[in-house]
Amino acid sequence: MAGDPTKHEAYRGDLLAHCYRMLGSVDEAEDVVQETLVRAWRAADRYDPRQASLRTWLHRIATNACLTALAGRARRPLPSGLGPPGDDPHAPLVPSRHVSWLQPFPDTRLGDPADAAEQRAGLRLALVAALQLLPARQRAVLLLREVLQLPATEVAQALGSSVASVNSSLQRARASLRAAGPVLDEWREPADPDEQATVERYLTAFEAADVPGLTRLLADDVVLEMPPVPLWLAGRTHYREFMARVFALRGDGWRLRAVAANGSPALAAYAPDPATGGGRAHSVQVFTVRDGLIRRCVTFADPAVLDPFGLPHTVDAHLAV
């Protein structure tokens, strides 16, 4: 029965991933998913399984709730979406708190392991960041057609639109994403089989404050982003100089923990705390790895981003992270 809350609850992870792609925020996605489940429970007597599967019906409700939430809101970018890269690795790191930044998504929130592999493919940061460039309805059409693979007739019905309008929106959305780079491939390309091993080597070098070791793991055109700081850097040389600056200012003794975010390997970083000898929550770093080299590191430098991962804000000097 559609009115059985346990049946609705089984789709929570799936709905959360969908709403995150729409909104770019885990916090907002959780709120919309909860609203979706409440709406579904209240409208259960109007659900007709002959018209749509329960999953499709729930996603229709969630999509329209997302569109309402997005009305009048600015998109959630990464620093690279705001302007060209910086050329000074020693520039002041001034956060832009007025920007609503894209947030990382913890893979552990995906729910059913049977669906997790497919879901992770559509959560890569480059893809989600590009989705935020689209007008909200184009974003919705693209996700309903490309991810859920709903027929155009069902998408039109869900959005109160026409099939012609849906097809036109889909074409414009695809064109916009192609202009943003090869991000559509993120849906289909398998991950680099060596990416986890590469990031583990990065972890070892980082905890050792080994700048040459870190540098050997970087692609020539590597990108480093650090929201909420709008500055971003491109190129191995700038990355190396920035990391040397970090260790010179903050010292060694950093402690890192491997996590998974946006279908990618990630590290939760704890900065050394001289007062306790332990570490204080600093950031979640999400990596793009290809051909055994790190191509992009997005460092979400806000301790609050550790909360959705269920991680503490401090670690003891004598305990493993």
pLDDT in tens, 86-119: 999 999 999 998 999 999 999 998 866 555 566 6
pLDDT of 1 above 50: no
pLDDT of 166 above 90: yes
pLDDT at 138: 96
DSSP 181-236: -GGGGGGTSPPPTTHHHHHHHHHHHHHTT-HHHHHTTEEEEEEEEETTEEEEEESH
Look-up of token digits 């202009």: 179
Q: What region does 305 belong to: left with phi over 0, alpha with psi -120 to 50, or beta?
A: alpha
Spatial separation of the C-alpha atoms in residues 199 and 205, rounded to whole Å: 10
Averaged pLDDT of the chain: 90
Tokens representing residue 105 in the block? 């998504």
Note the pTM of the prediction, 2 decimals.
0.92
pLDDT of 210 above 70: yes
In which band, very low, low, confident or very high, does the pLDDT at 177 lie, cut at 50, 70 and 90? confident
Q: Does domain 195-315 have CATH number 1.10.1510.10?
A: no
**Cis ω on the peptide bond leading into residue 265 (within 30° of 0)?**
no
pLDDT of 319 above 60: no
- Average pLDDT on 214-238 reads 97
pLDDT in tens, 243-289: 999 999 998 999 999 999 998 999 999 999 988 888 999 999 999 99
Instruction: Answer for the pair 241, 258: CB distance below 8 angstroms, yes or no.
Output: no
- Rg from Cα positions in the chain: 21
| Domain residue ranges in the chain | 5-99+109-187, 195-315
Spatial separation of the C-alpha atoms in residues 96 and 194, rounded to whole Å: 35
Instruction: Answer for the pair 223, 232: CB distance below 8 angstroms, yes or no.
Output: yes
Buried/exposed code over 275-296 (b: 16+ C-beta within 10 A; e: otherwise): eeebbbbbbbbbbbbeeebbbb
CA distance readout (Å), 197 to 117, 283, 292: 19, 20, 8
Spatial separation of the C-alpha atoms in residues 189 and 192, rounded to whole Å: 9
With both helix axes pointing from N to C terminus, report the angle between 54-70 and 12-23 in degrees, rounded to the nearest 10: 30
pLDDT in tens, 45-67: 888 888 888 888 999 999 999 99
Spatial separation of the C-alpha atoms in residues 39 and 66, rounded to whole Å: 13
Instruction: Answer for the pair 272, 312: CB distance below 8 angstroms, yes or no.
Output: no
Q: Does an H or E element contain 315, and which? A: strand 314-315
